[in-house]
Copies of this chain bind each other. A is one copy, B any other.
Amino acid sequence: MNEETRAQQRERYKEELKQSKSAIKKGLVIVNTGNGKGKTTAALGQVFRAWGQGMRVCILQFIKASTANWGEEKAAHRLGIEVHPLGSGFTWLSKDIEKDKRLAREGWELCKQKILSGAYDLIVLDEMTYVLTYGWISWEEVREIFDRRPEGLHLIVTGRDAPPELIDYADTVSEVREVKHHYLKVKSQKGIEF
């Protein structure tokens, strides 16, 4: 975290502005990865912003099972944003790998429908990196669907250990690095962790 001077900030902003004038508009593939805690949270912030702009949003969650207790699910329902929990809870604690694998495949079928439907401007594929890492869905299959998506559709993929092919394919990749975290000292709290 080297400190940026005021002059450097000014230069950076001018440069970004100049470059953006010769740029194109397109549907983006955004990846939030890394071992920090803000990956899904950042995607939800994007949802919030997009919803504010009147965009049509859909959230597909690979790992989380449905529970009325998640703050994001409550918020999405209140806003009329679609949320589809595709998982069976915290997958990596499951005793039944075959069942998790089947759920992930079924979940991906729903993702494909949603991505190709033309009904959305932004789709969040939350915690999707895990199913790629486990090899339950191949990158080739995912790439083919991403390539065929309607023009202008933005996709956000979250999760640890994003595969290099996905990073290479994406327009924007952010890595959230955990500098420190309170979970060892403080309980999970409503509105913060869930």
Q: Give A residues with C-beta under 8 Å from B.
A: 1-4, 6, 9-10, 13-14, 16, 19-20, 23-26, 28, 30-38, 40-53, 55, 70-76, 78-79, 90, 92-93, 121-122, 133-134, 154, 160-162, 167, 170-192, 194
Say how many copies of this protein the assembly contains.
Answer: 2
- The reply to whether B36 and A175 contact each other, CB–CB distance below 8 Å, is yes
- The reply to whether A24 and B186 contact each other, CB–CB distance below 8 Å, is yes
- The reply to whether A38 and B187 contact each other, CB–CB distance below 8 Å, is no
Secondary structure type dominating chain A contacts: mixed
Q: Give the distance to chain B from A120, nearest Cβ to Cβ, in Å.
A: 11
Q: Give the distance to chain B from A75, nearest Cβ to Cβ, in Å.
A: 3
Most buried by B among A70, A161, A176, A194: A176
Contacts of A186 in B (CB 8 A): 20, 23-26, 28, 171
Query: In the docked arrangement, what's the CA distance between A157 and B182, Å?
Result: 15
Q: Give the distance to chain B from A158, nearest Cβ to Cβ, in Å.
A: 11
